[in-house]
Amino acid sequence: MSGELSPIDKAKYVAAKTAADLVEDGMRVGLGTGSTAAWLVRCLGEMVREDGLKIRGVPTSTRTAELAREVGIEVISLDEARWLDLTIDGADEFDAELNLIKGGGGALLQEKIVATASDQMAVIADAAKEVSALGHFPLPVEVVPFGWQTTQTLIEELLISMDVMGRKSSLRMTGQRPFITDEGNYIIDLHLGRIGDPRQMALVLNQMPGVVENGLFIDICDKVIIGYGDGRCEMRDINEGTVSETRLDFVEDDNLFSDI
Model pLDDT for residues 23-60, shown as the tens digit of each residue:
999 999 999 999 999 999 999 999 999 999 999 999 99
The predicted structure's pLDDT at residue 140: 98
The predicted structure's pLDDT at residue 2: 45
Q: Which residues pair with 167 in a beta bridge?
A: none
The predicted structure's pLDDT at residue 249: 80
The predicted structure's pLDDT at residue 1: 45
The predicted structure's pLDDT at residue 186: 98
**Residues annotated in the binding site, as ranges?**
33-36, 89-92, 102-105, 129
Which residues have CB under 8 Å from 193's CB, separation 6+? 135, 136, 164, 165, 166
Which residues have CB under 8 Å from 34's CB, separation 6+? 89, 90, 104, 105, 107
Domains, the chain, with CATH or none: 7-129+219-247 (3.40.50.1360), 139-214 (3.30.70.260)
Residue 81 has pLDDT above 80, yes or no: yes
Quick one: how many helices (H) and strands (E) in the chain? 7, 17
In this prediction, residue 65 has a pLDDT band, given cuts at 50, 70 and 90, of: very high
**Residues annotated in the binding site for substrate, as ranges?**
33-36, 89-92, 102-105, 129
In this prediction, residue 188 has a pLDDT band, given cuts at 50, 70 and 90, of: very high
In this prediction, residue 250 has a pLDDT band, given cuts at 50, 70 and 90, of: low
Distance CA 151, CA 146 (A): 9
Residues labelled catalytic: 111
